[in-house]
Structures are given as structure tokens and as C-alpha cells.
Amino acid sequence: MHTTTPHPHPWHGRTVLVTGAEGFIGSALVDLLVARGARVRAFVHYKPYAEKGHLAHHLGPGSAVEMLAGDVRDAGRVSDAVQGCDTVFHLAALIGIPYSYDSPGAYVQTNVTGTENVAEACRRHGVRRLVHTSTSEVYGTAITAPISESHPLQPQSPYSASKIGADMMALSFHHAFELPVTVVRPFNTYGPRQSARAVIPTILAQLHSGAREIKLGSVTPTRDFTYVTDTAEGFLAASECDRALGHVLNLGTGTEISVGDLARELITASGRDARVVVDPARLRPAGSEVERLLSDNSRARDWAGWQPQVPLPEGLRRTSDWVAGHLHLFAPDRYQV
């Protein structure tokens, strides 16, 4: 009987660097890469205290994950991390909009200078592909919708300004030095492990703590929510897409929901009973609120073959179950910046 040898997965045996690997999206990407057979070098922010974080389940003898502590602001450490890697996924960033009002300089140092350090290291060591992480926040409030990659960039917060700078730095290395770089621009990613500063875990933590009133900032903005495993798959698809070199790919579902309607969906997903109230402490400065984000994902779909798989109600249910089992990680009565 004739048998054919199955082809190994394209990630099998590759050495891949993920910066920001302990983060919400980064850890999901590490999980996916390990499942596909990659050897992952996880570049994580150095912490002097004992905390295993989202990659704890990968630690131990024989693991395909090598943890490397460092800081993207340290060019030498970044260069050491990149050396010998086939593909680099750059997710490390200072995130969160409210804190960027207090400390804009820190965002420039980590997000812009950090990205330059990563791009320079990739250039020096000749990596096959750099995938740089952007954010839909760079678009600001939609001028036209759905938002394509050619939509104007609007720095409505120091955070978004720093990410615009980081994106331009990454793309400049493609134009100036022919670095094989692609920028992925996730819209609002959600799912298990997301921190309390994001709207979905904020609402769920309140619900599962028994709150009868859900405190929110503005309830009218709309967002395009993508489940975290779909976002991670988008990173892999982008890294294999030659047409995307020197370009940006939006990773979003192409559907939108208001924050108020989202809260009602979460009340349903959690099986709880509550009503929504606006908390003035949670409102953004008037000129800084992004009112509408809706993705045009046709480029990622047509060029890279990426298609989100997890519908919003299913993703919200999975996230609700995770938050319910990890309530100790949240302080639902306190506004998390």
C-alpha cells in the first residue's frame, strides 16, 4: 500500500521571537505558535518579583518556550533576542490610553524607540519577516466607515500618536533598507487573560461580583471586537503573506457594536441581572474619545486568507466564563487606568 508522508506544518522547527510575549495577545500568539510546532523565544519585561504570568503553563523542562527578560528600550538586549530567529512578532508596547495623558514621554520611549530597536536588530540579523503590531486607535474617530488601511491617521491621544510613530518607523525600514516587515492593525481584541483596563473584562468583573449597576464611561462609541485567537491567527497569516510586505493589514471582524449594547450582551452572557449607568470618572477628555471604529478587513481576507471564526456571542460567553473563574485578578469596584 502506498502511503504519503504528511507535510510538517510550516512553523515546525522554526525559531520565532515574540516581544511582549506575556501580554494578552502575545501569550495567545505563543500558545498558537507552540501548537504549530515552533520554538518560541518569549521576550518579556523584566520583573524583580516572582510572578509567572500568562506563560506559566509553558515553563518547565522540555518546553518549546524560552523566556528572555529584557526591555525593548535596550537595543543590545533586543539584538541578542533577535539573533538566530526566523520570524519576529513585535507586540511589546506601553498600552492604555488614560495613562498616556499622564506620561506621554514613556510611550514615545517604549513604543517608538523600542520599535526602532527591534527593526534595527531584524535588519542586522537578516530575519525572514518582522510583523509589527499597530492598533485601530491610530485611526481616531472614523471619518469614513468601514475603515480601510488608507484612512487618515489621527493622534487623538499620546498613546495613539506613539503607535503612529512606531508604525511609521517600522515601515520606514522597509522603504529605506528593504526590511521584510508587515504591520498588523488589530481592532478591539478581547478574550481570556485581558486586563481590567479594557471594557469587556471591566463589565464582566462587575457582573460576576454581583453588581446591579454597571459603571461605564461613554456608552455611545462603537467598536469592532475580535476574539483573541482570531487576532493571533491574523498575525500568522500576515507573516506568510509576501504581498503584505511594506503594508498594513487591518485585523477586525467588519461588524460594530456600541458600548451600551455590548454591556447588555455581556449581562446576557454572564447570566446576571444589572443595569448600565454612566460614571463621570470613566469619561475620556472630550476631544480624545474615539466615537466609531469599524474595520474594513478585505485586505487581510483577500491577500492573506484570514477570516475571523469566533462570533461575538460565543466569544463573550468564553470570556465571561474565564473572568468568573479569575475574579481574584480584578478589582471591580475600582476604575482601572
Q: What is the pLDDT of residues 170-198, one digit of tens each?
A: 999 999 999 999 999 999 999 999 988 88
29 falls within a domain: yes
How many angstroms separate the CA atoms of 337 and 96, rounded?
7
pLDDT band at 5 (very low <50, low <70, confident <90, very high): very low
CATH code of the domain in which 96 resides: 3.40.50.720
Any domain includes 276: no
Handedness of CA 251, 256, 259, 264 (dihedral sign): negative
Domain containing residue 300: 15-195+225-254+294-309
203 occurs within a structural domain:
no
- Asked, for residue 206, whether it belongs to a domain, the answer is no
User: Is residue 147 within 8 Å of residue 155, measured between CB atoms?
Assistant: no
* Cell numbers representing residue 172 in the block: 520606514
pLDDT (tens digit per residue) in 73-131: 999 999 999 999 999 999 999 998 889 999 999 999 999 999 999 999 999 999 999 99
Q: Is 103 inside any structural domain?
A: yes
pLDDT at 3 over 60: no
Decide if 316 is inside a domain: no
Distance CA(175)–CA(191), nearest Å, equals 35
| Positions marked catalytic | 159
- Indicate the number of domains in the chain: 1
State residue 288's pLDDT score: 61
7 within some domain: no
As beta bridge partners, residue 189 has: 226
Assess whether pLDDT exceeds 50 at residue 232: yes
Name the β-bridge partners of 20.
Answer: none
Question: Does residue 288 fall inside a structural domain?
Answer: no
Lowest-confidence pick of 2-6, 87-91, 296-300: 2-6
